[in-house]
Amino acid sequence: MSGRSPVWHPFHQHGLGEPIPLVERAEGAVLHTADGREVLDVISSWWVITHGHNHPRIVEAIQRQAEQLDQLIFAGWTHQPAEDLARGLRAIMPQELEYVFYSDSGSTAVEVALKMALGFWANRGKPRAKIVVMEHSYHGDTIGAMSVGERGVFNRAYSPLLFDVETIPFPHSGREQATFDALEAACKGGDTAAFIVEPLVLGAGGMLMYPADVLHEMRATCARHDTLFIADEIMTGWGRTGTLLACEQAGVVPDILCLAKGLTGGSMPLAVTMATAPIYDAHYSPDRSKLFFHSSSFTANPIACAAANANLAIWREEPVLDRIASLTAHEAAGFARIAAKYPITNLRQTGSIIAMDVEVEDAGYLADVGLKMRAGLFARDILLRPLGNTLYLMPPYCISDAQLDRTMTAIDEVLAEVL
């Protein structure tokens, strides 16, 4: 038997032989490795950590709940952490989103949303099957979530499994009308079940950003044609765009909302799909064939719900948005200095998400410069995974100015090396 680990890592090409550090503990924005390094986590461990690693209030809630109730079947049973969390979400989310369905991850939250939308039309006796998506979107890696995401290197091998969707163009600056026209055409036929979109920022698609008025217009188009509007706020939610939800900035309330990642402060896997009353009512019946046929073994895990309740308490009682605003300003100043020195295009920012593109011939997700930047930053104890030639930051809100300055210095040095 070989001495290498039997672990198969996600989104990692083991054939490249890159080092895989062993992390023993974490605190705030810092990861402590087995070989004594202190690594700054400036992408929140894949966009999930909001208040910082091992936040004391969340850790305490997990410990306390683990001593009381670890797991419970959720089909026809309930527990207090889930009840409290649903009510807590209702209190801070748009009032139209009256119902909370639990799942385990962002991908499953999207699967739930798609099934809710299709079930809504089927149970009303007016089946609709068409789903409309936006170019360059990413919604997860399960089959339904892949189907509504960008087709390409992410899912080419699995194309026989994916269902057909209609795609509208990304609303590039100056070309927004093409997006509006395509969505209008897709919806006006009356056979579109839902439009699913990442509000304001498309994450894995390259941190592509568009303004709030575009989101507002797309929502209005869906409402005009009775098309359900699904907001995938798995990455953009929980303050990443500067507000609790990105939809707030456009004055938009979706019919269905997907939340995950920061729901537990990033501490545990948990997701919710929130829906309006008409969505719920379409499945409410004495006819058991109309129930919502979706679950997983760990739906509404009590420990995960307890962590999420602690996260809600932090949002209620601490100045989270002030921290985000300060972080946003510091990021902007740092990236502006760097962009002025190197061949950089499309410097952009929405809240604490900031990105820029390094000019290279092989631009895209598989650009070689991405691996070079990642390696150079890791050598400087910075965890940052560029999306090909797109360099971005999305740190936890607890990161200090000194830690951000250290990050900017490392990026500056690495760009000088690779360019």
pLDDT 10s digits, 259-288: 999 999 999 999 999 999 999 999 999 999
How many other CB atoms are found less than 10 A from the CB of residue 1? 4
In a domain, 8, yes or no: no
pLDDT, mean of residues 60-81: 98
pLDDT, mean of residues 45-73: 98
pTM: 0.97
Judge whether 137 and 148 are in contact, CB under 8 Å: yes
Whether 324 and 306 share a structural domain: no
In percent, how much of the chain has pLDDT > 70? 100
Whether 243 and 298 share a structural domain: yes
In a domain, 212, yes or no: yes
pLDDT one-digit tens code per residue, 235-247:
999 999 999 999 9
Q: Tell me how far apart the alpha carbons of residues 204 and 330 are, in angstroms, rounded to a whole number.
A: 23
The CATH number for 154's domain is 3.40.640.10
In a domain, 4, yes or no: no
Domain boundary residue, one of 257, 283, 317: 317
pLDDT, mean of residues 102-123: 98
Judge whether 344 and 358 are in contact, CB under 8 Å: yes
Whether 257 and 129 share a structural domain: yes
The confidence score (pLDDT) of residue 153 equals 85
The confidence score (pLDDT) of residue 346 equals 97
| Domain region containing 245 | 58-317
The CATH number for 45's domain is 3.90.1150.10
Please say if the pLDDT value at position 1 is more than 80.
Answer: no
Confidence at 46, pLDDT banded by 50, 70, 90: very high
Whether 63 and 48 share a structural domain: no
Domain boundary residue, one of 261, 290, 317: 317
In a domain, 5, yes or no: no
Whether 233 and 280 share a structural domain: yes
Confidence at 157, pLDDT banded by 50, 70, 90: very high
Whether 46 and 171 share a structural domain: no
Q: Nearest to residue 120, comparing CAs of 302, 282, 293, 314? A: 282
Please give the single-letter amino acid code of residue 385.
Answer: R
Whether 50 and 62 share a structural domain: no
In a domain, 135, yes or no: yes
Q: To which residue do tokens 């300060």 refer?
A: 326
Over the range 380-409, which residues count as b (16 or more CB within 10 Å of their CB) and which as e?
A: bbbbbbbbbbbbbbbbbbbbeeebbebbbe
Whether 307 and 327 share a structural domain: no
The confidence score (pLDDT) of residue 2 equals 60
Please say if the pLDDT value at position 10 is more than 60.
Answer: yes
pLDDT one-digit tens code per residue, 357-395:
999 999 899 999 999 999 999 999 999 999 999 999 999
Domain boundary residue, one of 317, 345, 371: 317
CB burial class (10 A; 0-12, 13-18, 19+) of residue 316? exposed
Whether 311 and 323 share a structural domain: no
Please say if the pLDDT value at position 3 is more than 80.
Answer: no
pLDDT, mean of residues 148-154: 91
Whether 260 and 170 share a structural domain: yes
In a domain, 95, yes or no: yes
Whether 407 and 260 share a structural domain: no
In a domain, 9, yes or no: no
In a domain, 1, yes or no: no
Whether 335 and 281 share a structural domain: no
Name the domain count of the chain.
2
Q: Tell me how far apart the alpha carbons of residues 33 and 46 are, in angstroms, rounded to a whole number.
A: 18
Judge whether 138 and 207 are in contact, CB under 8 Å: no
> What 3 state SS string does 86-141 have?
HHHHHHHCCCCEEEEEEECCHHHHHHHHHHHHHHHHHHCCCCCCEEEEECCCCCCC
Cα 336 → chain centroid: 25
Q: Tell me how far apart the alpha carbons of residues 152 and 164 are, in angstroms, rounded to a whole number.
A: 14
Q: Tell me how far apart the alpha carbons of residues 83 and 61 are, in angstroms, rounded to a whole number.
A: 16
